[in-house]
Amino acid sequence: MMINEESKFQVAPSSLPDINTFPDGIMGGFADEFAEIFSSHLESAKHFFFFTVISCLGLLFSNRVRLKSELNQQPRLFVILLGESADDRKSTAISKATGFFHYISDLVSDMYLTCNGASSAEGLMKVFGSNHQRVMLVYDEFAVFISKAGIESSVLLPCVNTLFEQNRYENATSKQPMKLESGHLSMLAACTINTWERIWTPTFTAIGFQNRLFLCPGKGRRQFAFPAPIPDIKKEKLKSSLKDIVDWIGDGREIGITGEAKKIYEDWYFNIERSVHSKRLDVYALRFMMLFCINEKKETIDTYIAQRVVKLMNWQLAVRKVLDPLDCDNKISLMEARIRKCLSPKGTVKTEREIKRACHLKQAGYWIYNCAKGNLLDAREVISVGKKSAKHKRFMLNPEELLD
């Protein structure tokens, strides 16, 4: 029996895992050493510590490490720790990781600044404006960001959204113009599942904010009623390990990739399923490959790192599917079918307004409709005809495509 090559990279609904169980064999290096020590004294999930530390590492070296690629990816993450309120100890993991990096501030001359919540883009710009190029934006409760970013007149959401991939942001107004030329932003936040479901509104979905977030669900365990202090000798050992990384990075490092590792990544990249949940996973794959190299002091992405990152991305895809409160993939597939039906038989030409009416746009929502139409246009199943202006644009099924 022949095995479908694409199936290696796709996650079937029946195979969706327990999202609170982190896959084995992914963690390693300094971040794993940190996670092992702190999880043996505290009740947060071990991988909570791993991802908070790896996020801090990425921001610390975001302007000193680059890929040997035309893509200007930086090892910065927007990580959301997901779990039940209080019991899963999400905030503990964040505070211990960020606190440790301030503890070792004497090792680095230009340590990043931690901002414990920003209520507006103007406030965030002031933090950057105080001679800091790198800022770790921390929310003990992600609900605060959601409420502030959802205010109609606020530009906090587009600002943070832009700074995920770029280093500059500008909002020219007559009263309070904002301009950031070289800013490196990372985010760490704690969030409950109920709060996560609140983010699935047109305000956030319209600009694709959800797929800029790396979701890290987990469960804490009650095992230390009165946690003993971590011995200073263990903290000094961690400090020494981090100093080794700082010295290894020096003034900067360029990360390459082996031929075998490149083949592993390309196989995954070209075969990952087309889904609303797989968007920007390729961006995170590149960032994590860089981060694993930093974390393990490797100048080249090797086969071992590529395999672990692909495994991590497949887990993240499954997590996104499980935590999707709208069942977006199925709704988008249904909308695609409606658009095809509206434009059948081949040769039928209709305006955007006619398609929206036929597909019951008000029931489905603009985001679902735009995603479905965009998928069909990208796949060349549907093509636009007539004038280029949006007002007069018309659509039809591509006569050159053989549709099922």
pLDDT tier, 10 (very low <50, low <70, confident <90, very high otherwise): low
What is each CA distance from 111 to 56, 57, 77, 107, 140, in whole angstroms?
10, 11, 17, 9, 21
Average of per-residue pLDDT across 64-93: 88
Give the whole-angstrom CA distance, residue 158 versus residue 149: 9
Q: What is the pLDDT of residue 296?
A: 97
What pLDDT was estimated at residue 228?
A: 86
Q: Please say whether the beta carbons of 214 and 312 come within 8 A.
A: no
Confidence of residue 393 (pLDDT cuts 50, 70, 90): confident
Q: In the chain, what are the domain boundaries? A: 5-322, 328-397
Question: What is the third-level CATH fold of 5-322?
Answer: Rossmann fold (3.40.50)
What is the arithmetic mean of pLDDT over 382-386? 85
Predicted local confidence at residue 130, as pLDDT: 63
pLDDT of residue 129: 79
Tell me if domain 5-322 and domain 328-397 are identical in fold: no
Looking at residue 1, what is its pLDDT?
33
Residue 263 pLDDT greater than 90, yes or no: yes
Judged against a pLDDT cut of 80, whether residue 174 lies above it is answered with no
User: Which amino acid would we find at residue 115?
Assistant: C
Retrieve residue 154's tokens: 């606020």
More confident residue, 99 or 391: 99
Calpha distance 317→331 (Å, rounded) = 17
Residues ≥6 apart with Cβ < 8 Å to 352: 390, 393, 394, 395
Taking only the tens place, the pLDDT of each residue in 342-374 is 888 878 898 988 898 898 887 778 888 888 888
Looking at the predicted structure, is the pLDDT value of residue 89 above 50?
A: yes
Determine the residue type at 135: V
pTM, to two decimals: 0.86
pLDDT of residue 43: 83
Q: What is the pLDDT of residue 14?
A: 44
Residue 2 has pLDDT above 50, yes or no: no
Other Cβ atoms less than 10 A from the Cβ of 89: the count is 24
The pLDDT value given to residue 87: 64
Q: How confident is the model at residue 222 (pLDDT cuts 50, 70, 90)?
A: confident
* DSSP code at position 348: -
Share of the chain above pLDDT 70, in %: 92
Contacts (Cβ under 8 Å, ≥6 apart) of 13: 321
Q: Which CATH code is given to the segment(s) 328-397?
A: 1.10.10
Mean per-residue pLDDT, 204-215? 93
Residue 388 has pLDDT above 80, yes or no: no
Q: Is the predicted pLDDT of residue 224 greater than 90, yes or no?
A: no
How far apart are alpha carbons 155 and 30 in whole angstroms? 37
Please determine, for residue 58, whether its predicted confidence score (pLDDT) is greater than 70: yes
Mean pLDDT of the chain: 88
Check whether 400 has a pLDDT greater than 90: no
Any idea which residue has 């307004």 for tokens?
A: 353
Give the range among 5-14, 58-67, 141-150, 350-359 with minimum mean pLDDT: 5-14
- Kindly state the average pLDDT of the residues 319-348: 88
**Selected residue with higher pLDDT from 388 and 70:** 70
pLDDT computed for residue 13 by the predictor: 45
Among 188, 190, 210, 186, which Cα is nearest to 199's?
Answer: 210
pLDDT tens, position by position, 303-313: 999 999 999 99
Per cent of the chain over pLDDT 90 is: 54
Closest CA to 305 of 315, 316, 321, 294: 294
Q: What is the pLDDT of residue 15?
A: 54
| Residue 333 pLDDT grade (very low, low, confident, very high; cuts 50, 70, 90) | confident
Query: What does the block give as tokens for 163?
Result: 């700074």
Distance CA 304, CA 85 (A): 36
CA distance 72 to 334: 36
386 half-sphere exposure, CB direction, 13 A CA radius = 13
Look at residue 105 and tell me whether its pLDDT is greater than 80.
no
DSSP state of 273: -
At 6, is the pLDDT very low, low, confident or very high (cuts 50, 70, 90)? Answer: very low
pLDDT digits (tens, 9 = 90+) for 14-55: 455 678 889 999 999 999 999 999 999 888 899 999 999 999
Q: How far is CA 291 from CA 300, 315, 388, in A?
A: 11, 17, 43
